[in-house]
Amino acid sequence: MPASIIEGDSLLAVDVGTATTRAMLFDVVDGRYRFIAIGQSPTTAQAPFKDIGEGVRQAIENLQNVTGRTFIDTDRRLITSSQPDGSGVDAFTATISAGSTLKVVVAGLLSDVSLESAKHLAESTYARVVETLGLNDTRLAQEQIDSIINACPDLIVIAGGTDGGASHSLQKVLEVIGLACYLLPQDKRPAILFAGNQEMEAEVRSSLAPLTSSIHIAPNIRPSVEVEDLQPARKELGRAFVDIRKRQIKGVEELDMWTGGHLLPSAFAEGRILHFLSKLYGDDKALLAVDLGASSATVMAGFGNGLTMSVYPHLGMGVGLAGLLQYTTLENIARWLPTDVPPQTLNDYLYQKALYPTSIPATKEDLYIEQALARETLQIALQTSQKKFPASAPVLREGLLPLFEIILAGGSVISNAPTLGQSLLLLLDAVQPAGITTIILDQNNLLPALGAAAERNSILPVQVLESGAFVNLATVVSPISTARYGTPILRARLIYDDGTESSVDVRQGGLETLPLSIGQTARLNVRPLRRADIGQGPGRSSSIRVNGSALGIVLDARGRPLNLPADAVRRRELNKKWHWTVGG
């Protein structure tokens, strides 16, 4: 792209996570936007600072030390335009996921229509639904009011009614919500997001605006009974989230001012990029993005123009670990360990990590435990999200994940693994992709920054994505087969551009690799045996051009779903062997 098309503006992006605050610099190099550097600092939302501004400034100062440039002045204020001496930055964006999980009440009409959509909307940010109100609710109005007061929600999401449809039933719901808000202390009144029948907007504003901390009106998430459209309402949900955080956490309002009122939830910004990529690749190529942070696990899937977003605050690698055993067992976590760890040691580490989310593994055993927790947490999140994927998404076998062309992964526990092989094996064990997939690691957690930048500069995210700022981990071939363990099910041949070849026969239960370095390209010929399926149909071969990656071509024939041996000694030996195979 000619340099003249690019304005040449530098951009500083800040992401405030629960444990870590990151400051990232993007600028033009040789006529194209590039990711330049990153500065990090512990997030300071908690004691003793209780002000995210301190962590933001420290992260920016660390970035200054790396780049030699100045972005904040002696009064620690942002320099908002580039100066002749090279200081300052032309544009600033910010995203946030820090803070306690929002408590949300959802209200609507039918439980399997508007209420279900309202729950889906609430689950696309850092929130949990604590109460529901609908037509099927048999409680008296007074009991419903009491339930809202007892829940003391941060946000009430109201849906229901098709555009232009009947409004009488929804008016009853509004009356209950209005009375509950009136009875709550003024400083405890929730924000309200209305995403129902648009003909009721004026009534909602007049009746509820005086009784709420902030009111937000979004397009109807159920414009008709058959159609659910959450995308327009997610933007208004993002603003409601930021408004709530302003009241809860010191420093958020200043950060929003630095962005010109465009501070975004990190998950919403990530969803914006995935939605863009999904439309770019088209309906025939599905994409999956997973992010495992301290505050939550996030799973997003793009199917052409469709996007599913799920945020699970109870499944993060920080405080959320304290409740992990509600969804799994110590035995399930221990199955991922390559060494023998006593259950009590595993249990102690789990709760210590929940108390101190910013702590890092001190020993190899601690590292294995943390990665085992990550595998189990991410797998639970994916199994829950799978229920929301469209029925039309292609799958090789019922119960498995859809065929994803690309899997994007982020989160400190994944990206900060000592080796890229450990990052890849963690993802293969937790996600268990089927067919042929490219796995890409967001090693610097750039996706939220790119999503926030897209609103101001649509060229920047595209060029950064193309620049190699992300790590292409591997092209993974995962056949589905019913053959017995040890039976050959796949024959792979890699033909390099210089005419040389590498080949391997893969057995059921095996994990093999073929080398293909970054910068190389080759043709991969895969021939399934014994009616194994790699996404083309049972027994059908495939020949594709592949690009080099950090770990080359990985042939994962361990089975889907991955069933580990019941014998603990044999299971640990297999885990060790798989670590060795991928260079872990």
Alpha helix ranges (H) inside 356-497: 364-385, 412-415, 420-431, 447-454, 459-466
pLDDT confidence bin for 6, thresholds 50/70/90: very low
List the single range of 97-111, 282-296, 548-562 with lowest mean pLDDT.
282-296
Q: Would the pLDDT of 4 be above 50? A: no
Mean per-residue pLDDT of the chain: 92
Q: What pLDDT score does 481 carry? A: 96
Question: pLDDT tens, 250-297?
Answer: 999 999 999 999 999 999 999 999 988 887 777 678 999 999 999 899
Q: What pLDDT score does 110 carry? A: 83
The residue among 95, 89, 22 whose CA lies nearest residue 455 is 95
Buried b (16+ CB within 10 A) or exposed e, 311-348: bbbbbbbbbbbeebeebeebebbbbbbbeebeeeebee
pLDDT confidence bin for 167, thresholds 50/70/90: confident
pLDDT confidence bin for 566, thresholds 50/70/90: very high
Alpha carbon distance 5, 532 (integer Å)? 49
Q: What pLDDT score does 7 carry? A: 53
Q: What pLDDT score does 166 carry? A: 64
Q: What pLDDT score does 238 carry? A: 96
Domains located in the chain, CATH noted: 3-96 (3.10.20), 102-248 (3.40.50.2300), 268-314+392-581 (no CATH)
End-to-end alpha carbon distance in the chain: 39
Q: What pLDDT score does 1 carry? A: 35
Q: Would the pLDDT of 477 be above 90? A: yes
Instruction: Determine contact, residues 418/425, Cβ cutoff 8 Å.
Output: no
Question: pLDDT tens, 490-504?
Answer: 999 999 999 999 999
pTM, rounded to two decimals: 0.92
Question: pLDDT tens, 31-55?
Answer: 899 999 999 999 999 888 999 999 9
pLDDT confidence bin for 228, thresholds 50/70/90: confident
Q: What pLDDT score does 58 carry? A: 97
**Whole-number percent of the chain with pLDDT over 70:** 98
Those residues whose C-beta lies under 8 Å from the C-beta of residue 551, and which sit 6 or more positions away, are 420, 421, 424, 473, 474, 513, 582, 583
